[in-house]
Homo-oligomer: A and B are copies of this chain.
Amino acid sequence: MRPAGQLDVRRHNSALLLAAVTANPGCSRAGLAAMTGLAKATVSSLVDHLVAGGLVAETGPVERTGRGRTGTGLALSATGPHGVGVAVGVDHVTACLVDPLGGVRARRVRSGDNRGRAPEQVLAVVTRVVRSLAGQGVPVGGVGVAVPGLVRGGVLLSAPNLDWSEVDIALDVGVPVTVANEANAAALAELRPDGPRDYVLVSGEVGVGAGIVRDGALLTGVHGFAGELGHLCVDPTGPRCGCGARGCLETYAGTAALPTRQAAANGDPEALSALESAGTRLGQALSGLVNLLDIPTIVLGGDHARLAPWLFGPLRAELARRVIGARWSPPTVVASTLGREAAALGVARAAVDHIRADPDSYLRGAGQAL
C-alpha cells in the first residue's frame, strides 16, 4: 500500500495510453485525455514519447468534436516492435514474424522429425530461424518459443513425445525470450478483440493439450502446468500412453491414432472407425472439462481442426449426453482456422506482451531490440 513513485506513475500511464490507442485507433490526444482522465499535458508528453519511440504512429488530422482545435489521429504503429514466434513440434519447426497489429509478415516451416534429435540441435535450428525472420528490416521486440510439454520459467521440464526433459530454452538472440506450452500459445492465437473471451482450445498434435482461456486470460494453474487434457483417463483399461499410464485421451485422439484427411475423405472404413472413436473419446474428456470448468466453448486445433468434419458428430453427441449444464448453456464446438501456424502466432504475440505492459521501460532500453 505504499504510494506510487513518479516513475511508477509514468510507466503505468504510458501503458494505459498505449492500450487506449490500441483499442481506439484514430483517437486524438484530446480524446485520450477524456478517456483516461489524465491531464492533457501529461497525455501529450507521454504520447510524444511513444511516437518518438516508434510504438505509436500519427495517422493524420481527425475531425473536431465539440470545441477545440483539429487533433491528430493516433494508432498503434505497424512498424513498431515485431514479435518472432517459433513452435517446436514433434515433427516440425514452424515460425512467424508478427507485426504490432498482430498480422503475420513472414513465415518459416522446417518439416522433419525432432524425436531422434538432441535438444541442442533443434535449438540451433530455432536460433537460425529466428535470425532469418529478424533480418527483415523491422525492429524485433521479443522472441517466443512454444514447446509440447510442461514449462517452468524458461525451462521445458518434460516433453514425453520428444523424449526431452529439463531443457533450458536459452537462445542467444539479444531480446527477451518467452517460453510457453504449445497448446497455451495456440489458445492465445485465437483471442480476437471481438471474439469470445471464454473458450478451450484443443491442440490435436502428436500430444493432445488444451489452452484454457477465461475472461480473455490463460488459466495456467499454480505452476503453469494446467491444460494437460491429453492425460485425462477415458478408460482405465485402455492402451498404454507415452506418460506411462493407461487409457489417456492422447492414445485415442493424438496424431498416431488418427487417419489422414485423405483416407477419411475416401470413406476408408478403418479411418472412419478411428475417427468415431477419437470423436467419442474427445467428447467424453471434454464433457468432463466443461462439467469441471463451465467453459462451454471449444475450439478444435491442429489435426482435430483438419479432421473436424468427422469428429464433430460423435463429439457433440457426447457433450449433449454428459454436460450437466447443457440444457441452460449448450456447449459449442468449432474448428480453428489458423492451421499449423497457431502456436507460433500465439507465442509471437505473447513475446511482445512485455512491451504493451510497460512501453516506457521498453523505450528506455530500446537499443536492445534486434
Question: Which A residues form the contact surface with B (CB < 8 A)?
Answer: 1-3, 35-37, 150, 152, 157-158, 198, 210, 212, 219-229, 231-236, 243-245, 280, 284-285, 287-289, 291-296, 321-322, 324-325, 327-329
Assuming the contacts A287-B233, A328-B157, asked whether A37 and B1 have C-beta atoms less than 8 A apart, the reply is yes
Which residues of chain B are within 8 angstroms of A293 by Cβ–Cβ distance? 219, 221, 226, 292-293
Closest beta carbon of chain B to A242's beta carbon, Å: 11
Q: Do B324 and A232 have beta carbons less than 8 Å apart? A: no
Q: Determine which of B150, B157, B292, B322 lies in contact with A292 in the assembled complex, contact meaning CB atoms within 8 Å.
A: B292
Which residues of chain B are within 8 angstroms of A324 by Cβ–Cβ distance? 150, 158, 225, 228, 231, 243
Which residues of chain B are within 8 angstroms of A243 by Cβ–Cβ distance? 322, 324
Q: Do A292 and B329 have beta carbons less than 8 Å apart? A: no
Which 5 A/B pairs are nearest by Cβ-Cβ distance? A221-B294, A228-B291, A225-B325, A225-B294, A232-B288
Which residues of chain B are within 8 angstroms of A219 by Cβ–Cβ distance? 293
Assuming the contacts A292-B212, A292-B229, A294-B221, asked whether A327 and B158 have C-beta atoms less than 8 A apart, the reply is yes
Q: Do A231 and B322 have beta carbons less than 8 Å apart? A: yes
Q: Do A292 and B232 have beta carbons less than 8 Å apart? A: yes
Q: Given known contacts A223-B325, A225-B294, A236-B280, what 4 new A-B pairs fall within 8 Å (CB)?
A: A226-B293, A226-B294, A231-B324, A245-B321
Which residues of chain B are within 8 angstroms of A231 by Cβ–Cβ distance? 287-288, 291, 322, 324
Which residue of chain B has the shortest Cβ distance to A226 in the bound complex? Answer: B294
Which residues of chain B are within 8 angstroms of A236 by Cβ–Cβ distance? 234-235, 280, 284
Closest beta carbon of chain B to A150's beta carbon, Å: 6
Which residues of chain B are within 8 angstroms of A325 by Cβ–Cβ distance? 150, 157, 223, 225, 228
Complex Cα–Cα for A224 and B293 (A): 9
Assuming the contacts A235-B235, A327-B158, asked whether A222 and B295 have C-beta atoms less than 8 A apart, the reply is yes
